Amino acid sequence: MSSSAISDQMDVESSSAFSPAEPVVDGAFVSKHNLSAEAYQGFKECADALLSGKVAQPEQLSFIQRTLQICENVILNFEDEKQHLMSDVLLVWAMKQQKLSIATLHTQQLHYKELDLINLQFEYFGELLQQTLSGLDYLKQYYPNVGFEEVHSKVRNLTHYFLYYSIIVSRQPPSVIVKCGEAENHRRSRFWFNTEIRILGGSAFGIDTNNENSNVNCYLITDETAKQLLNNAYLDIFESEEFCIEPSTTTFQKKDSRGIKAKFDDMVRHPLSDIPSHVSCAEMADALEMKFQAIVETPQKNTDGPSVVQPRKFNMQTKQHLVMRMKPNQQGFLALDNFMKLPVAEEFQQKKSAASDGDWKLVPFYDWFFKLAEITNKYLYSMWYDGLIYGFCSKEDAENILRCIPRSVLLVRFSDIEYGKVKISVKNRNGEIRHHWYEHADLNARSLNSELLTNHKFSDVDLIYPDIDLEVALGGRNKPRIRLPRNLAPDEIYFDNQGAAT
């Protein structure tokens, strides 16, 4: 598959999972909810007429039949709105949440805030369901055995389904695969995160007030039990735990007007399903971006708290470059084995017996990629976020980019071939291009910022790619002191005092 085709595919498929925007108006929901509200209004007018006694006795039967037909239309509209909320809104949100489990706190928080809008949508729909059920309760009481019982049963079942699936895991950690033998399964395994159970909507049914302070139990189950739950949501999972959770119980709390929530502090979780063997280029590019962002954001010290900052995004060239290094197939899919096993770089390992002797070791993609993220986190954090580091780029691409800049310019990139090295590609004022490299150990001893300002190799460079003034960005160079000749023109007093010195 050509790189241009993959680029086009990624441009279309790549979601904004790594940088979600603030919630926007859901036009489809507004349209469907308006239809449901109009249908309900027709039902309400008929119910009010029947319950107020305004319909004459001879006309009641035909009026009831008309009301039942309107009820069927109400149910059709309710089903359509429910399906939109379940599949197009909540399911899409949950799938995106799973992808964002490796993203930065900033990205996850933006996605989490989308639940406020979803909660509002669930509240609107819940109000229609509650009001419809209330009207049907009166109709089947005052007009028994004419069909309102069946309609009530349908709406009640729809409501039950809607409320059942409005209970969600609103904060969820990344999956943890426990690598230990059966004999070690009793060990204490701690993996902190702030998971949260949340009920969307439900205020019209009193769920928030009736369930506040009620206990919620959480179980860690096996993959086999999880598969059974997919087929039977009411499966009794008691004593199907694989690990003990501490704490295993929390309570629902009602906070502000955003529904009812229950949080757990510590938990270990098994993956619900098997890891796929292949993923699309767009999915892999998004995942790599989020993981790189998360590693770069990792606090340097254990005492430092996590920072919530907007991460720097990968551009399309970077995403395309990374996925092409893993050799996608003709259909634009990548084997996950390529991520773990495909050699993309080399590392020279010295022998202990001789400092000048050693062997070249092949480095797989994941090791090469994560090492560069670690180097960026430790030594290049500020320059990366300030946009002074171009990042992932081949030597050939770097040279082509530099040739397009009329002035002397340098480009900071990660080495494609040599493990854990940073390359500086430079075009001088004569148009000549040369490449310099630095080990991560070099960056530990001397910052790249200082190196670019003081090393004579870069003294004639004006810009950092694309058009950032080098001195302005890095703080200015130390200008060499020009030694002026001394003025040796002594006055008459000087000569008069020479005799005293002899």
Domain extents for the chain? Answer: 184-270, 283-474
Give the Cα separation of 45 and 66 in Å (integer): 12
DSSP string, 406-420: SS-EEEEEE-SSBTT
Structure confidence at residue 370 (pLDDT): 94
**Which residues, at least 6 apart from 102, have a Cβ–Cβ distance to it below 8 Å?**
174, 287, 290, 291, 294
CA 330 – CA 74 distance, rounded (Å): 48
- Top pLDDT among 256 and 445 is at 445
Instruction: Kindly tell me if the per-residue pLDDT of 246 is higher than 50.
Output: yes
Reduced to 3 states, what is the DSSP secondary structure of residue 6? helix
Per-residue pLDDT band at 468 (split at 50, 70, 90): very high
Q: Is the pLDDT of residue 15 over 60?
A: no
User: 114 Cβ partners below 8 Å, 6+ apart?
Assistant: 20, 23, 93
Q: What percentage of the chain exceeds 90 in pLDDT?
A: 52
pLDDT value at 322 more than 80: yes
Integer-rounded Cα Rg, in Å, for the chain is: 33
Q: How many CA atoms lie within 13 A of 276 on its CB side?
A: 8
Answer for the pair 3, 320: CB distance below 8 angstroms, yes or no.
yes
Residue type present at position 104? T
- Using pLDDT thresholds of 50, 70 and 90, give the confidence band for residue 182: very low
| Local confidence band at 252 (pLDDT 50, 70, 90 cut-offs) | confident
Tell me the CATH number for domain 283-474.
3.30.505.10
Determine the pLDDT at residue 115.
93
How confident is the model at residue 21, as a pLDDT?
Answer: 46
CA separation for the pair 256, 171 (Å, rounded):
18
| pLDDT at residue 177 in the model | 41
Residue 176 predicted with pLDDT over 50: no
**Strand partners for 201:** none
Q: Which of 227, 238, 243 is nearest to 182 (CA)?
A: 243
Q: Which residues contact 393 (CB under 8 A, 6 or more apart)?
A: 317, 318, 321, 401, 411, 413, 414, 416
Interval 39-58: pLDDT, tens: 999 999 999 999 998 999 89
Task: Flag the least confident range among 172-181, 220-229, 470-479.
Answer: 172-181
The token duo for 56 is: 């004459």
- Between 84 and 494, the more confident residue is 84
Task: Write down the pLDDT at residue 440.
Answer: 80
Q: Please name the helix (run of DSSP H) or strand (run of DSSP E) that holds residue 251, with its range, or none.
A: strand 249-251
In single-letter form, the type of residue at position 401 comes to I
> What is the predicted pLDDT for the residue at 419?
94
d(CA 95, CA 261): 20
CA angle 458, 448, 423 (to 5 degrees): 70
Top pLDDT among 415 and 440 is at 415
Residue 203 scores a pLDDT above 70: yes
3-state SS, residue 343: strand
Share above pLDDT 70 across residues of the chain, in percent, rounded to a whole number: 76
- The region of weakest confidence among 112-121, 160-169, 274-283 is 274-283
Cα(417)–Cα(361) distance, integer angstroms = 12
H or E segment and range at residue 254: strand 253-254
Average pLDDT of the residues in 154-172:
90
Lowest-pLDDT choice from 128-132, 215-219, 329-333, 483-487: 483-487
* Tokens describing residue 102: 């490796």
As given in the structure block, the two tokens for residue 65 are 């039949």
Distance CA 415, CA 401 (A): 16
Does an H or E element contain 474, and which?
Answer: helix 470-474
DSSP state of 489: -
Task: Please give the Cα distance from 170 to 159 (Å, whole number).
Answer: 21
The Cα–Cα gap between 234 and 224 comes to 15
Whether cis (ω within 30° of 0) applies to the bond prior to 364 is no
With residue 225 as reference, give the H or E element that holds it. Answer: helix 223-231
Residue 263: pLDDT band by 50, 70, 90 thresholds?
A: low
Mean pLDDT along residues 74-78: 97
For residue 476, pLDDT over 80 is answered with no
Query: Which of 164, 208, 173 minimizes the C-alpha distance to 193?
Result: 173
Taking only the tens place, the pLDDT of each residue in 392-436 is: 999 999 999 999 999 999 999 999 999 999 999 999 999 999 999
Mean pLDDT of the chain: 82
pLDDT exceeds 90 at position 8: no
